[in-house]
Copies of this chain bind each other. A is one copy, B any other.
Amino acid sequence: MKNSLGREIPEEHSGNHGGFAGELAMIREYQERARHIRPVKPRDQKLLGSLREAIEKTGLEDGMTISFHHHFREGDFVMNMVLDQIAEMGIKDLSIAPSSIANVHEPLIEHIKNGVVTQITSSGLRDKVGAAISSGIMKHPVVIRSHGGRARAIATGDIKIDVAFLGAPSSDCYGNLNGTVGKATCGSLGYAMIDAKYADQVVAITDSLVPYPNTPISIPQTDVDFIVEVEAIGDPTGIAKGATRFTNNPKELLIADYAAKVITHSPYYQNGFSFQTGTGGAALAVTRFLKESMIKDGITASFALGGITNAMVELLKEGLVERIIDVQDFDHPAAVSLGANEAHYEIDANMYASPLSKGAVINQLDTAILSALEIDTDYNVNVLTGSDGVIRGASGGHSDTSAACKMSLVIAPLIRGRIPTVVEAVNTVVTPGSSVDVLVTELGIAINPLRSDLIAHFKELDVPQYTIKELQEKAYGIVGIPEAIEYGEQVVAVIEYRDGTMIDVVRNV
């Protein structure tokens, strides 16, 4: 069958909710999933002697679903540690539901081959794991979910977590956890908080056991069944890996300059506006240019949202941003700020971005800066597969924020090396074109025809403006028409839209 974007979704992969049918088509009342709880009595001990003992106490069995969070990013030790232990115990056929998968999780490939892991849902896949999945090593396709979509799936029971294994930078003996105290501080535990609230059982794994009660409490004792102390849960260097410095690349600076102009000349740029930027070089440059304008214009933002970097923290410190609303931190200064500044506030993934919550923060967001591996002439965006068709990116909050905020900007260079970014049709749709308002490239901008209000508003804007078709033609004019990818027949990943419908599939290469 074809979904509303015309993407072919094989019937057997159309999931519980059918094909994508529009951003708000599936926003319906529902019964939230409830946990099965094992109460803890007054003299019960939660602190156990080993990870093995914890796995045994949970009663983990073949076929169950376990989850992890990705706040340690490339510094994560927890997922490999737990899967190794589970494999050693002979447990098989598990579904894993990490909030994302990093390059450091390469050992996962062996666990897939050995039948320990047979199903995966994740925001994304990197490098070797992505390549292995794209080569077709799994019988069941990986389910790619956005951060908001994952929260939705957990709340509705589409993902039913039997046991969540949550790395905790600090814990007390009763399971009060946070990410701002300890040896491997990652800051916000926003993605883990959701697992803790909905999983039947939660095992906290920490390398910093602190006296009771551990505060601040990101995840409370009432959401944790067992605690295990280990030597190390993560590598602080890896946690901050990929955090970007300020760019000197003239192309990125030009994109950032155009994006900042779009924001500061938009109807939303006024006292109390709100924004989410991001972590790429150009995105950080937007933040800097925005800051200069805000100082000049005497404008402050009510809040900044999202994955947080030091650039945001500086805006907070300087009083240009009144609150940081934080679901994830991308560098050490951001993690430290969360613990130190009460205007820097931690939220969970449900509150950040779930389309089926009682109202996510992104619904209050004015503008968001988003990236793209590809964007096509219908404004559909691919942030997942590379130009070779291999999975190497992540859905992240892309489709969430772009759908919910008042003005979404996709910033991307027209071409990367010899590969066009603006194309006729993206290889893989993660975000539908209806969610993207403005494309910003180094040549200029294109405004989505759906936003006639913005087209009218930006008529006099001092930035070159094109149709997206013109930008695509310019890209092809420089590097030629890209060769089509030769996919196989096997579906290796299905891409859920944030509401649970299928927006696209990825086949093997």
Contacts and interface: CB of A to CB of B under 8 A. Distances in A.
Contact of A345 (B41, B217, B362): B217
Given A272-B211, A345-B215, A351 B36 contact: no
- A interface, how many residues as a size bin? 35 or more
Nearest to A196: B358
B42 A357 contact: no
Nearest to A39: B356
Contact of A35 (B24, B32, B212, B302): B32
A260 B106 CA distance: 59
A34 B32 contact: yes
Given A42-B404, A302-B213, A175 B32 contact: no
Interface stretch (A61-69, A222-230, A242-250, A424-432): A222-230
B213 A345 contact: yes
Given A44-B359, A221-B358, A323-B215, A34 B34 contact: yes
Contact of A213 (B174, B211, B221, B325): B325
Contacts of A202: 358
A29 B35 CA distance: 10
A347 interface: yes
B34 A343 contact: no
A491 interface: no
Residue among A224, A303, A364 facing the most chain B CB atoms (10 A cut-off):
A364
Contact of A357 (B29, B39, B351): B39
Contacts of A41: 24, 27, 363
Nearest to A23: B42
B323 A40 contact: no
A33 B37 CA distance: 11
Contacts of A325: 213
Contacts of A28: 39
A437 to B, nearest CB: 13
A359 B225 CA distance: 8
A34, A225, A359: most-surrounded residue (chain B CB, <10 A) = A359
Contact of A302 (B29, B37, B211): B211
Contact of A39 (B29, B36, B347): B29
Interface string A16-30: 000000001001111
Contact of A42 (B37, B222, B345, B403): B403
Interface in A343-357: 343, 345, 347, 350-351, 354-357
A216 interface: yes
Interface in A38-53: 38-44, 46
A342 interface: yes
A360 interface: yes
A361 interface: yes
A267 interface: no
A210 to B, nearest CB: 11
A281 interface: no
A364 B174 contact: yes
A182 interface: no
B223 A358 contact: yes
13 contacts: A31-B35, A32-B37, A33-B34, A37-B155, A40-B357, A40-B358, A174-B364, A175-B359, A215-B343, A216-B345, A217-B347, A222-B354, A224-B359
Give 7 nearest A-B pairs by CB, closest first: A40-B359, A34-B34, A32-B34, A42-B363, A39-B356, A42-B404, A222-B357
Interface of A: 24, 27-44, 46, 155, 174-175, 202, 211-213, 215-217, 220-225, 272, 302-303, 323, 325, 342-343, 345, 347, 350-351, 354-364, 403-404
